Amino acid sequence: MTDKPQSPLAGSKLGYTVDYPQQYDPSLLFPVDRQINRSQLHINGWNWAGFDLWYAYELSWLNARGLPQVALGRFLLPADSPCIIESKSLKLYLNSFNMSRFADREEVQSRLQQDLSAVAQAPVQVELLAVDTDLSQQPGTLAGALCLDSLPVEIDTFAVAPELLQLRDSGTESSLQVREVLYSHLLRSNCPVTGQPDWGSLVIDYEGPALDHEAVLRYLVSFRTHTEFHEHCVERIFTDILALGEFRRLLVRAHYTRRGGLDINPCRSLSPELPDMGRWTRQ
């Protein structure tokens, strides 16, 4: 019998009522070991490329004269970093900037990069964008993509079930090979800390044995009551699909809607060539 892995949140103060910090405090950041979740996946020695792209909409600090400054934060964590950063701890950390004075924008960016990289245990890219930066462009590479959401499927499974995934029957001994992009706006999972729902759009861009479209939609809907971090959900979907056969290309990315002033957009790929993520309207 395999022992159930220890919760990555064991011993933390997350999920409890807290006082919001009044001064800059990097100790608020809480790491979550990626390996705890990956030990449960069908990885079989696969190597993947990817990243977790965060947008922080509630980022503010005081300049040297005490005048509030605001920016839109864009943080890129590499998928091979040993740790992710728990989102509530990131929100608390960002709030600790609100009443703290910094010499200039460059100092704030430097502190963010230093602190986030230390907790992720890998270099984190940090950009501070103007708050009127237009991020509304639809994700690229979706020309000719198929939205699965109108397929006439019957759904009776709302707990994650990888056995729902199937390849399309080609009617021959060899499996049908295709190159296609599928997407759905029906992804929903739940936060392990607060229990609140996380809503997202998911894109599957692949080349290899043809996926059964209805089976993929049933599988994605089965995450509806699943409790797991955004990054872990995407890695689970990626590895469950990869377990179906030999894929020459597979890229899975999720565009989660913002909650608590943050949104998280994980991307995992067999190829080191990674996409421009773009933005969905509801983000």
Report the pLDDT value the prediction gives residue 125, as an integer from 0 to 100. Answer: 97
134 is catalytic: no
Of the given ranges (23-37, 112-126, 133-147), which has the lowest mean pLDDT?
Answer: 133-147
Q: Which two tokens stand for residue 104?
A: 């200039």
Task: Transcribe 231-276 into DSSP letters.
Answer: HHHHHHHHHHHHTTS--SEEEEEEEEPPBTTEEEEEEEESSS----
Among 198, 205, 240, 263, the active-site one is 198
Residue 13: pLDDT over 50: yes
The CATH class given to the 26-129 domain equals alpha beta
47-87 pLDDT per residue, tens: 789 999 999 999 999 999 999 999 999 999 999 999 999 99
Report the pLDDT value the prediction gives residue 82, as an integer from 0 to 100. Answer: 96
Among 191, 233, 240, 263, the active-site one is 191
Residue 3: pLDDT over 80: no
198 is catalytic: yes
Residue 17: pLDDT over 70: no
| Residue with the larger pLDDT of the pair 224 and 9 | 224
Yes or no: say if 232 and 270 are a contact pair by the CB < 8 Å rule: no
Report the pLDDT value the prediction gives residue 266, as an integer from 0 to 100. Answer: 96
CA distance to 62, 111, 258, per residue, from 67 (Å)? 5, 19, 27
| Segments of the chain assigned to CATH 3.30.1130.10 | 26-129, 146-269
Report the pLDDT value the prediction gives residue 134, as an integer from 0 to 100. Answer: 83
Report the pLDDT value the prediction gives residue 1, as an integer from 0 to 100. Answer: 40
What is the CATH topology of the domain spanning 146-269?
A: GTP Cyclohydrolase I, domain 2 (3.30.1130)
pLDDT tier for residue 45 given thresholds of 50, 70 and 90: low
Grouping H, G, I as helix, E, B as strand and the rest as coil, residue 133 is coil
Yes or no: say if 166 and 241 are a contact pair by the CB < 8 Å rule: no
Residue 140: pLDDT over 90: no
